[in-house]
Amino acid sequence: MSRLVVVSNRVAPVAEDQPSAGGLAVGVHGALKQSGGIWFGWSGEIVDAPPETPTLYQQDSVGYATIGLSRRDYDQYYRGFSNGTLWPTFHYRTDLSRYDRKEYAGYLRVNAWLVEKLKPILRPDDLLWVHDYHLLPFARMCREAGIANRIGFFLHIPFPVEPVLRTVPPHRELTEAMCAYDLLGFQTDDDCTAFSDYARRQLGAVPQAPGVLAVGRRRVRVGTYPIGVLPDEIQEQSQTHSNSRQILNLKQGLHQRRLIMSVDRLDYSKGLVERFQAFERLLEMAPAHRGKVSFIQIAPPSRSDVEMYRNIRRQLESAAGRINGRWTDLTWTPIRYINKNYDRLMLMSLFRASQIGYVTPLRDGMNLVAKEYVAAQPADDPGVLVLSEFAGAARELGDGALLVNPYDTDGMAQALGRALIMPVEERKERHQQMMRRLRENDLDRWRDRFLADLRGDEFA
Ligand code: ADQ
């Protein structure tokens, strides 16, 4: 079997005995262990003078090749075009998106530079698997550098519909560059269709067979590969801390109150302010729940050197302060807004200890928290998932979750109210349905399907 080379913006080593990482890291690491291979990308460091060659090291049978970025590269490629333009636009927040030609030039420059650094390590029969929006033109740069290897790409975030994508001025150049990949993978059928429709209308792509587009002289395959979790592993993880002092103290402190749980990176796409408002609406609409339910939001800051992220943090602190100021009494604080990271075992145990998983992004590629919440539940007394219809996960979990529109405050409050009184039989039935889907589309299947399609003979 050919060697696998994974390329992603950040390289996240996974230690064998440390179950701390989420989906991408675990899925990719598993693939690298199976076929042997290398994970290449940014080390996470900003350096005065980027080195000539990447740092190579081996950990638990997986090779890593990482490299630092200069301040200018970081500002233009990562903070600028990737997170100031592509991230907001691909999450339909054109109001938050900005475009700067210098940043775009930096984005292209760093993609080409990464290709130059990877090239000496590559063997002719290596299979390349490139991840996410930071690297849309990576394959184009490879082709220009004479790299003819098979290259697949997986987009972890949504792919926007044509009118939204067109707000990014170099949209055509970017999508043409994407066609230099052999296989393009998306989280949902909606994302895959959005790309294919765009390619037909703007690039003159012609569908040749199901999932195959001819674009000029190139043929590119497109497909849907919903990323998943490992349900059995999460079940186990969720029980490790069940009797720990922290969880027991938490339960004791709740005094039989029901617990609503949310966990996110602090990001405007996650709909946190809307979520807080809907929780407050529940307290307004349903006096019976006052003093009987607590809401814990865990959201450590991310990308905090980007102005937009500082704003969302301020908004959230003010919403939590206002709501708590209005409702808190001597023995009850309705919202606990926690700004720090927890390790994975503790998170899964917290999911298991809560009666509602409250996952309401305004837009999300998949949302693994929703899947982890379901997998962590006890089968005989499971909690209820309240899930935004705009998360990719809603495509698979829509039958078992209570789907909500995060722009509808009353609707979300109603769903919370319904979840709080849902009888155990209905909760079990819904949970079983969702577990079936989680098992069908688990993390191993995501990776295996993608790599099988990338290795397939269809390209010959
Ligand atoms: P993210 O936007 O980071 O990922 P998500 O999929 O929900 O969103 O979370 C990733 C992982 O981080 C999960 O395993 C979660 O448990 C963990 N995590 C989140 N908040 C945490 C916290 N406060 N402390 C510790 N761990 C935390 C992007 C896309 C998603 C897509 C994933 C994978 O935006 O739509 O599902 O990639 O493809």
**How many alpha carbons fall within 13 Å on the CB side of residue 141?**
19
| Domains 4-228+443-455 and 231-440 are alike in CATH topology | yes
| DSSP E strands, 305-458 | 335-338, 356-359, 384-388, 402-404
Give the pLDDT band (50/70/90) at residue 162. very high
Phi and psi at residue 101, to the nearest 5°? -60, -35
Complex prediction ipTM: 0.98
Q: Residue 118: helix, strand or coil by DSSP?
A: helix
Give the pLDDT band (50/70/90) at residue 251. confident
The domain ranges of the chain are: 4-228+443-455, 231-440
Nearest to 242 by CA among 332, 352, 168, 326: 352
CA 101 to chain CA centroid, Å, is: 27
- To test the pocket of ligand 1, the residue of 186, 369, 438, 443 to mutate (highest count of ligand atoms within 8 Å of its CB) is 369
Q: How far, in Å, is the centroid of ligand 1 from the Cα of 364? A: 10
- What is the model's pTM? 0.96
> How high is the pLDDT of residue 112?
98
> How high is the pLDDT of residue 460?
45
- To test the pocket of ligand 1, the residue of 92, 131, 368 to mutate (highest count of ligand atoms within 8 Å of its CB) is 368
> How high is the pLDDT of residue 288?
96
Give the pLDDT band (50/70/90) at residue 70. very high
> How high is the pLDDT of residue 310?
82
Out of 91, 131, 134, 156, pick the active-site residue.
156
The answer to whether the CB of 265 is under 6 A from ligand 1 is yes
- Kindly report the protein residue whose alpha carbon is nearest to atom 19 of ligand 1: 264
Between 30-44, 118-132, 168-182, the lowest mean confidence (pLDDT) is in 30-44
Give the pLDDT band (50/70/90) at residue 122. very high
The mean per-residue pLDDT over the stretch 316-321 comes to 93
Tell whether the model's pLDDT for residue 303 goes beyond 90: no
Q: How far, in Å, is the centroid of ligand 1 from the Cα of 67? A: 24
Would you give the DSSP letter of residue 77?
A: I
Burial class (CB in 10 A: 0-12, 13-18, 19+), 326: exposed
**How many alpha carbons fall within 13 Å on the CB side of residue 48?**
0
The answer to whether the CB of 372 is under 6 A from ligand 1 is yes
The answer to whether the CB of 155 is under 6 A from ligand 1 is no
> How high is the pLDDT of residue 240?
85
Which residue type is seen at 175? T
More confident call, 164 vs 244: 164
Q: What angle do CA 15, 235, 28 make, to 5 degrees?
A: 35
Quote the tokens at residue 386: 């309240």
Q: Which residues 6+ apart lie within 8 Å of 21 measured at CB?
A: 12, 14, 29, 344
Distance separating alpha carbons of residues 29 and 12, to the nearest angstrom: 9
The answer to whether the CB of 137 is under 6 A from ligand 1 is no
Q: Which atom of ligand 1 is nearest to the CA of 298?
A: 23
The answer to whether the CB of 382 is under 6 A from ligand 1 is no
Q: What percent of the chain has pLDDT over 90?
A: 82
> How high is the pLDDT of residue 459?
52
Q: How far, in Å, is the centroid of ligand 1 from the Cα of 265? A: 7
Q: Do residues 7 and 129 touch, judged by C-beta distance below 8 A?
A: yes
Give the pLDDT band (50/70/90) at residue 22. low
Tell whether the model's pLDDT for residue 279 goes beyond 60: yes
The answer to whether the CB of 191 is under 6 A from ligand 1 is no
131 is catalytic: no
> How high is the pLDDT of residue 104?
98
| DSSP E strands, 47-121 | 55-59, 62-69
Token look-up 């696998």 returns: 4
Tens of pLDDT along 129-153?
999 999 999 999 999 999 999 999 9
Tens of pLDDT along 410-458?
999 999 999 999 999 999 999 999 999 999 999 999 999 999 999 997 5
Length of the chain: 460
Q: Which residues 6+ apart lie within 8 Å of 44 measured at CB?
A: 10, 11, 66
Give the pLDDT band (50/70/90) at residue 244. confident
Distance separating alpha carbons of residues 151 and 250, to the nearest angstrom: 48
Distance separating alpha carbons of residues 317 and 314, to the nearest angstrom: 5
Q: Residue 369: helix, strand or coil by DSSP?
A: helix
The answer to whether the CB of 10 is under 6 A from ligand 1 is no
Q: Which atom of ligand 1 is nearest to the CA of 156?
A: 38
Tell whether the model's pLDDT for residue 407 goes beyond 90: yes
- Kindly report the protein residue whose alpha carbon is nearest to atom 14 of ligand 1: 22
Class of domain 4-228+443-455: alpha beta
Superfamily of domain 231-440: Glycogen Phosphorylase B; (3.40.50.2000)
Average pLDDT across the chain, whole number: 93
Tens of pLDDT along 170-229?
999 999 999 999 999 999 999 999 999 999 999 999 999 999 999 999 999 999 999 999
More confident call, 302 vs 104: 104
Tell whether the model's pLDDT for residue 28 goes beyond 90: no
| DSSP E strands, 101-236 | 127-131, 150-154, 183-186, 206-209, 212-215, 218-224
The answer to whether the CB of 357 is under 6 A from ligand 1 is no
Give the best-scoring range by mean pLDDT among 43-57, 339-353, 381-395.
Answer: 381-395
Greatest C-alpha distance within the chain:
71
156 is catalytic: yes
Quote the tokens at residue 321: 């302060």
> How high is the pLDDT of residue 241?
79
- Kindly report the protein residue whose alpha carbon is nearest to atom 13 of ligand 1: 22
Which residue type is seen at 31? A
- Kindly report the protein residue whose alpha carbon is nearest to atom 8 of ligand 1: 367
The answer to whether the CB of 367 is under 6 A from ligand 1 is yes
Calculated CA dihedral for residues 185, 186, 189, 191, nearest 10 degrees? -130
Tens of pLDDT along 341-372?
888 899 999 999 999 999 999 999 999 999 99
